[in-house]
Amino acid sequence: MTIFWWCLTVKLFSALYARVMQWSRHRHAPWYLGGMSFAESSFFPIPPDVMLAPMCLANPHKAWNFAFITTVTSVLGGLLGYAIGAFAFEAIAPWLQEQPRYWNGYQSALEWFATWGVLAVFVAGFSPIPYKVFTVAAGVLSMSMLPFVLASLVGRGARFFLVAGLMRWGGARMEAQLHKYVDRLGWATVGLIAVGAIIYALR
């Protein structure tokens, strides 16, 4: 119980949240957002939502512009992932096999493509499923380029414009509520990750 109350009193995540909000107001923030979104679609592990959301909160009148930047750069990054799958998969396959999460995700992506075809790209683009795994798998399977790009645009666009819309609608009220509860949410996430790791280790 002592550790529990200590976690609630330590304002670690409040400080991180404040720093992210500062970055989101930086004049070069759209470039950072675009770079993160591009990288996440092929190899970077952190989704662009974590930067898109505070940027929309900090500048709600630019929310749609930020969503557009995120969508376009994400699809361009998806084309890089497609190229990796099409031309360099043999080089990265040994590394993927050493990463159970990504290798299992890749195997699942192949099954999804076999069942759903191009719709799998749309679902991966919109949902929390790692989109990058599907971009690489699409390249491996030599999926037709136009359906791949269109499904990516629709899936990624729907996701990022939804995030931007929610942040724009919530505005200062949502920012105040997030700042108020960010430490509790942060420590709860850490706790869930720890529990998941323990359960996985005991399997």
- For residues 134 and 42, what is the distance between their CA atoms, to the nearest angstrom? 9
Q: Which residues contact 37 (CB under 8 A, 6 or more apart)?
A: 48, 52, 69, 70, 73, 74, 77
The answer as to whether 26 is a domain residue is no
Residue of 191 and 155 predicted with greater confidence: 155
Single pTM value for the model: 0.72
Check whether 203 has a pLDDT greater than 60. no
Phi first, then psi: what are they for 99, rounded to 5°? -115, 90
The answer as to whether 73 is a domain residue is yes
Share of the chain above pLDDT 70, in %: 71
The answer as to whether 64 is a domain residue is yes
Q: Are 140 and 167 in contact (CB under 8 A)?
A: no
The answer as to whether 104 is a domain residue is yes
The answer as to whether 143 is a domain residue is yes
pLDDT at 180: 59
Domain that holds residue 138: 56-191
Q: Is 142 left (phi over 0), alpha (psi -120 to 50) or beta?
A: left
Q: Based on the structure, what is the number of domains in the chain?
A: 1
* pLDDT tens for each residue of 118-159: 888 998 888 877 788 889 889 988 899 999 999 999 999 999
* pLDDT tens for each residue of 33-49: 998 899 888 877 677 88
